Structure 1
Amino acid sequence: MNHVVKKLSGVVFAAFAFTSGAAAEPVNIRIGWSTMPGHMIPVLYSKPDILKHYGKSYTVEPILFRGSSPQITAMAAGEIDMAAFSALTIVLAVTNARQNVKVVADIIQDGVEDYHSETFLVRKDSGIKTIADMKGKRVGSNAIGSASDTAIRAMFKSKGLQDKRDYTVVEVAFPNIPPMLDEKKIDMGTVLQPQSDQLLATGNYEVLFRAKEAVGPSQLVSLVARADFLEKNRQALNDFFEDHVRAMRWFRDPANRTEAVQIISSFMKQPPEKLSHVFTKKDYYRDPFLFPNVKTLQDSINIAHEVGLSPTKLELAPKYVDLSFVEEAKRRIEAGQ
């Protein structure tokens, strides 16, 4: 009898030790991203001395995508846990892919006060001066349904132009838009920083419009996560978000600017002088504690519905928003923990 009890106790202890060991394994967080230095996800975890919990309770695996839209399929297939989503892709993830997702943090906001707003450029010799001049022309868009694509459609619709009837959308990865403009394969395209300022400095390009003129200030890209992943790993994710916010605050701190730009420069394989816009008013706005602007995000969802991209006008809050992680990160950081 005692022998049996001892044997069972040993089994229970072994099972407990196995379970405890498994729980101690860091949670690997697979995060989709598409643009640098806008999204910052590939470099945020490159400074171990400012990350309190990396490698202990979590690790991060950044995964590159062409834009927001392709990340929907990856999330539905269980290939990523978090994604950099535009307003429309949040709606499509919920309505088309039947995903239970939550907006958890800010990535970038467009057109806030006097911060940068996405630019849509044309060649100066194209003769295109107004949106009306784009009739019959080709538009370069990084991905159908992306934030910039929604701004294009909103602006064109406000001037009476409709996709397919009045203009043609050509999907082009962001880095390929400038050469396609130069080669006259497209007539207008979304050009991101730093290329936007660089092209304008040549005198060969003009801004046809900016995103804020089409949709106003907007929560351009949000960090969105699977609800089941959040609930299953809440403790580890509280650690992750503390580090995530701390890291972003470190990168944005003027005292760290030289080193921060050098890290981004090395990742992008671009000279630091070409990244002079980063973390200035020529860059996108980022909330100090990465709180997403839920109101402007809802406004963008409504616009996507109005231009025919969204099948429904999804009500985002409260069902598809969870700010508890950035709230906890702010509490920890302000408490000096």
Structure 2
Amino acid sequence: MGIAPRVVTILSLTFTAALSVPTAAIAQQPTVLRVNTFPTASYSPILVGIANGVFEKRGMKVELQFTPNSDVQREGLAKGAFEIVHAAVDNAVAMVEMAHEDVVIVTGGDTGMNEFMVRPEIKSIADIRGKNLVVDAPNTAYGLLARKILKNAGLVDGRDYTLKPIGGTPLRIEAMEKSPENAAAMLNPPFSFSAKDKGLKSFGRAVDLLGPYQAGGAFVMRKWASANGPLLERYIAAYIESVRMTMAPESRAQVVSLISTRFKQDQKVAERTYEVLVEPRFGLAPDAKFDMDGFRAVLALRAEIEGQWGGKPPAPDKYIDLGYYERAMKLLERR
């Protein structure tokens, strides 16, 4: 009976130690990150990363949101409705120059995989004269690409055709199907493939018609990045891992399934989409690497089509901070 107090003491210490485990676990709950994108295949790596727990392994829970158009997306980022945007990086430039928001681009992603698509009855660029070019927004990203393609063919908006803001790719296809006046648009996978199956025609891929272009990438508010640097770097590291996983041949079946399910596309469209995702210099950029020459083309296009900066594009440094990306790569190297 004399050892009972010692037993009670040992049990008490053991119980106290056991209680401390849930407390530590609670402290390590994943950080929620709200990520906003367009519902296109360019951002398949996020779907793949979520499905395979890549972000959670680095202490994050990604809440993925789809935007109907770039105006809503840009406004949401500025107001703090989400922390990270994946979209055409020209939207970040537009936020800096047009809305005077302090935004910074932190990764690359892809070329946009855009094709200049027209209705079935359009036989040549000249047939677009007097009709509508449907765009997400008239003064950013893929709308500028489409205007440049038409300008190279001698057609100028407001004189030869009308710009019609509609929204994201699915909405542009719907507009083209409903009215013969909506003659042309820039479309990307998987919807560019389903559009072809419905009779729309491609007049060429943007990168073939205009050259390198840094399209999709991640951008954030600079103040948020400064306050959350390690978190952002972990996110970028997880995103790079997700890109690698997406492009790995052994992931093909899963990626095709995710594209089919999340974007409501049939199996064959999803399979064709995967093939372009992994196509060099057209699909996903390995490791989400930023294409500096492609970004200079973004700025040059904005200067030419919108007349911004007096028609002379500025140096890229103002809009990018790849330090977060570089530190994310070091995180990956340490594993």
Assess if the C-alpha contact under 8 Å between 2:89 and 2:219 holds in 1: no
Match of 1:326 in 2: 325
- The one-letter code sitting in structure 2 at the alignment partner of 1:35 is P
Cα drift, residue 273 of structure 1: 2.9
- For 2:177, the equivalent position in structure 1 comes to 182
The 3-state SS of whatever aligns with 2:42 is: coil
Letter matched to residue 193 of structure 1: P
SS of 1:62 mapped into structure 2 = strand
Partner of 1:140 in structure 2? 134
Measure, in 1, the Cα distance between the counterparts of 2:230 and 2:76. 24
Say which of 80, 84, 93 aligns to 1:78: 80
In structure 2, what is the Cα distance between the partners aligned to 1:72 and 1:333? Answer: 30
How far residue 152 of structure 1 moved from its aligned partner, in angstroms, is 1.1
Match of 1:239 in 2: 234
Match among 78, 86, 94 for residue 96 of structure 2: 94
Task: Provide the rounded CA distance (Å) in 2 between the counterparts of 1:52 and 1:60.
Answer: 8
**Do the aligned partners of 2:255 and 2:274 also contact (CA within 8 Å) in 1?**
no
CA shift in 2, pair 1:315/1:82, >3 Å: farther
Kept in 2, the 8 Å contact 1:242–1:330? The answer is: yes
Residues 1:149 and 2:149 aligned together: no
Q: Deviations over 1:102-157 (max 9, x none)?
A: 211122214xxxxxx4112223333x31x333221111212223422111111222
Give the stretch that moved more between structures: 215-224 or 180-189.
180-189
CA distance in 2, matches of 1:260, 1:205: 25
Compared CA separation, residues 280 and 33, structure 1 to 2 (3 A): same
Partner of residue 65, structure 1: 67
- CA deviation after TM superposition for structure 1 residue 328, in Å: 2.7
Query: CA, structure 1 residues 74+121, in 2 after alignment: closer, same or farther (shift >3 Å)?
Result: same
SS at match of 1:59: strand
RMSD: 2.8
Structure whose alpha-carbon radius of gyration is higher: 2
- Say if 1:132 and 1:252 are closer, same or farther in 2 by CA, change over 3 A: same
1:298-335: CA deviation from partner (whole Å, max 9, x where unpaired):
21111112111645655353332222232233333344
Counterpart code for 1:226: M
> Does the CA-based 8 Å contact 1:237-1:325 persist in structure 2?
yes
Q: Where in structure 2 are the equivalents of 1:1-337 lying within 5 Å?
A: 26-40=30-44, 43-51=47-55, 53-54=57-58, 56=59, 58-110=60-112, 117-126=113-122, 128-129=123-124, 131-173=125-167, 174-183=169-178, 184-201=180-197, 204-281=199-276, 284-308=282-306, 310=308, 315-335=314-334, 337=335
Tell me the CA shift for residue 210 of structure 1.
2.9
Name whichever of 247-256 and 94-103 sits farther off.
94-103
Change (3 A) 1:22 1:39: same
**Residue 109 of structure 2 aligns to a residue in which SS?**
strand
Q: Secondary structure at the match of 1:105?
A: coil
- Cα distance between partner residues in 2 of 1:315 and 1:188: 31
Match of 1:8 in 2: none
When residues 132 and 269 of structure 1 are mapped into structure 2, their CA distance, relative to the original with a 3 A threshold, is closer
Counterpart Cα distance in 1 of 2:254 and 2:29: 31
Aligned length: 306
Structure 2 CA distance, aligned partners of 1:145 and 1:82? Answer: 22
- Return the alpha-carbon distance in structure 2 between the equivalents of residues 309 and 40 of structure 1: 34
Comparing 206-215 and 238-247, the one that deviates more? 206-215
Structure-2 separation of matches of 1:73 and 1:309: 23
Gaps of 5+ in 2: 1-23
C-alpha distance in structure 2 between counterparts of 1:249 and 1:237, whole Å:
18
Q: For 1:314 and 1:224, how far apart are their aligned partners in 2?
A: 20
State the Cα distance separating 1:167 from its structure 2 match. Answer: 0.7
Describe the superposition over 1:218-272 as per-residue Cα deviations: whole angstroms up to 9, x where unpaired: 1112211111111111122222222111112112110111122223322223333
Contact 1:265 1:271 in 2 (8 A): yes
Deviates more, 1:163-172 or 1:79-88: 79-88
Q: Aligned pair in 2 of structure 1 residues 253, 73: CA closer, same or farther (>3 Å)?
A: same
- Give, in angstroms, the shift of residue 66 of structure 1: 2.3
Q: Which residue of 1 aligns with 2:18?
A: none
Give the CA deviation at 1:293. Answer: 0.6
> Conserved in 2, the CA contact under 8 Å of 1:89 and 1:145?
no
Partner letter of residue 193 of structure 2?
D
Contact 1:69 1:85 in 2 (8 A): no
Query: What TM-score, normalized to structure 1?
Result: 0.79
The runs of 5 or more residues in structure 1 that have no matched partner are 1-19, 111-116
Distance (whole Å) between structure 1 residues aligned to residue 38 and residue 265 of structure 2:
17
More helix by share: 2
Distance 1:228 1:21 in 2: 29
Taking only the aligned residue pairs, the percentage that are identical comes to 20
